[in-house]
Amino acid sequence: MPGPFLENRYFVALLIFWCLLGIWLCGGAHVVLGTTETLMVSSAFPSSVVFFVLTGLGMIGLHLIVRRNARARARFFARLPGLVFRIDKDGLIEFASEQGLDWIGANLATDSRPDLRDHILDHASLINLRENAISAQGDITVAELPLTTKEHEQRWLRVQMRALPPYTSDCQIDCIVWDITELVRERNLRRESQTRLETMANLSNEALFLHDSGKCVDANNAAERMFGYGRTALLNLSAADIISSETLPTVTDNIQSGYDKPYEAMAKRHDGSQFPCEINGRNVLIDGKTLRLTSFRDITERRTAEEQIRFQANHDALTSLPNRYLFMDRLTFAIKLSKRRRECFALMYIDLDGFKTLNDTRGHIIGDKVLRDVAARLSAKLRDVDTVARIGGDEFTVILSGSETPEDAEIVANKLKDALTSSPVDLGPDEAPYLVTASIGISLYPDHAETIDELISAADSAMYMAKKNGRNTFRFATTKRSENS
């Protein structure tokens, strides 16, 4: 194996020059030229020999210094804790650090070359590394490669390479190897986690937005479906594009303040339609920058279910009119409003005449049909600001807002009485029509009573007075003034 002296072209060239110079100085030139001036040759010979010998000694000393430095360099690299090796001009590993060889389970072959190709790098990989390093012209290049250790453990290496000048096809390549197994493992776990998160985000029914001060940075597939935008258009949107103007100030304030509790708002789609949504936002730190991750959940079905539950809790199941609970709530509100505005209003208590007999003789199904028809007729004759409620079997109440005088209430009572008696209730082809009549009691606030119980009791008493007076009529409650007199 040639040593570092013969492998270096500069030393080889200098050696050839030295030999030629020695031949010239020792008289070889005169022999070659055919001169016979022996006197001149004999006189110059001693000095030429001395010069030639001194030059040779200098060359030998330089050669020894170079070899010593080469051995010291090899020992330095061999003792490094990591794996350090050199790729020669033939694409083979010239030497490697001892601790690195022991780590991967390699050893030194008989030709003093470690058999790393059987453990870490094959010949093709070495050639590829060499070509990359030469192309870099002295710059450090990096490659990541898998490795199997002597314990059959799979690890990853990062190889840093640099070509030694001159950067020709036969130059030497120094390589340093770092164990990056944990780094690669962490990177793979992060990539897998990111993939799982992206998969979960895309499978979620919630629209997820990653935005910077309201400007969209990223979004999942559910956001495209929910808002009706393509991905390119979606990434160019701001909060104002997907939030209704009524709730935009609230959303903007929550973004700026970093509010992290769920809240409700109205969102709008690409086609302009709006829908209720639950928004939950949280600030996240990504690559050193604070962004906001916001989820949108369409709560249309939940709102519908809540409204249905609320309606069922406050309305009669048969007639869909307000029930006793909602009636009491509206009567309380009417009293408070009348006190504040110093206005009057009327309360009517309506009881159908002979309804119990109808139920007993013709059945509850017929009775339910009559109740539904009565509810529809009463509602048709009242204003939107009025309230008609079913508070019992055949008992209805009406709150007439803004009825200042008994005459106003009397007009409405006649309309309701006429609506019930104008035509019989059609009960179907197998049943005879049924003519509905009702007795109506009327109390006025605050003339007849000033509390809820007193007002209802006064209207109820007036209703019984109407029944005693022949039914299908109405009566007013007795005033407090007349009682006091």
Among 59-63, 103-107, 369-373, 392-396, where is mean pLDDT lowest?
103-107
Q: What is the pLDDT of residue 451?
A: 92
Tell me which of 38 and 472 has the higher pLDDT: 472
Same fold, 79-185 and 204-302: yes
Whole-angstrom distance between the N-terminal and C-terminal Cα of the chain?
139
pLDDT grade, residue 484 (50/70/90)?
Answer: very low
pLDDT at 101 over 80: no
What is the mean predicted confidence (pLDDT) over 138-159? 79
Assigned fold of 204-302: Beta-Lactamase (3.30.450)
pLDDT grade, residue 220 (50/70/90)?
Answer: confident
Which CATH class for the 79-185 domain? alpha beta
pLDDT at 345 over 90: yes
- Are 389 and 374 within 8 A, CB to CB? no
- Are 138 and 167 within 8 A, CB to CB? yes
Output phi, psi for 413, to 5 deg: -60, -40
Q: What is the pLDDT of residue 77?
A: 62
pLDDT at 9 over 90: no
Q: What is the pLDDT of residue 201?
A: 57
Joined together, the tokens standing for residue 359 give 């139920």
Helix, coil or strand: residue 410: helix
pLDDT at 36 over 50: no
What is the mean predicted confidence (pLDDT) over 12-40? 58
Among 40-44, 84-88, 283-287, where is mean pLDDT lowest?
40-44
Average pLDDT of every residue of the chain: 80
pLDDT at 226 over 50: yes
Tell me which of 479 and 220 has the higher pLDDT: 220
Query: Longest C-alpha distance within the chain, in Å?
Result: 173
pLDDT grade, residue 260 (50/70/90)?
Answer: confident
What is the mean predicted confidence (pLDDT) over 95-111? 60
pLDDT grade, residue 30 (50/70/90)?
Answer: low
pLDDT at 2 over 70: no
- Nearest of 314, 245, 304, 256 to residue 281 by alpha carbon: 256
What is the mean predicted confidence (pLDDT) over 98-112? 58
What is the mean predicted confidence (pLDDT) over 129-140? 85
- Are 448 and 344 within 8 A, CB to CB? no
Q: Where are the domains positioned within the chain?
A: 4-76, 79-185, 204-302, 315-484
What is the mean predicted confidence (pLDDT) over 447-469? 93
pLDDT at 348 over 90: yes
pLDDT grade, residue 4 (50/70/90)?
Answer: very low
Which one of 38-42, 100-104, 122-126, 354-358 scores highest in mean pLDDT? Answer: 354-358
Checking phi first, is residue 44 left (phi over 0); if not, alpha (psi -120 to 50) or beta? Answer: alpha
Q: What is the pLDDT of residue 3?
A: 46
Q: How far is CA 34 from the centre of its chain?
A: 96
For the domain spanning 315-484, the CATH number is 3.30.70.270
pTM of the shown model: 0.54
pLDDT at 377 over 80: yes
pLDDT at 189 over 70: yes
pLDDT at 100 over 50: yes
What is the mean predicted confidence (pLDDT) over 70-74? 69
Tell me how far CA of residue 232 lies from CA of 203, 219, 224, in angstroms.
19, 10, 10
How big, in percent rounded to 5, are the helix, strand and coil portions of the chain? 50, 25, 30
Q: What is the pLDDT of residue 485?
A: 38
Q: In sequence order, what are the residues at sequence separation of 6 or more whose Cβ sits closer than 8 angstroms to the Cβ of residue 268?
A: 242, 243, 244, 274, 275
Q: What is the pLDDT of residue 299?
A: 92
Tens digits of residue pLDDT in 409-434: 999 999 999 999 999 998 888 888 99
- Work out the percent of the chain whose per-residue pLDDT is above 90: 33
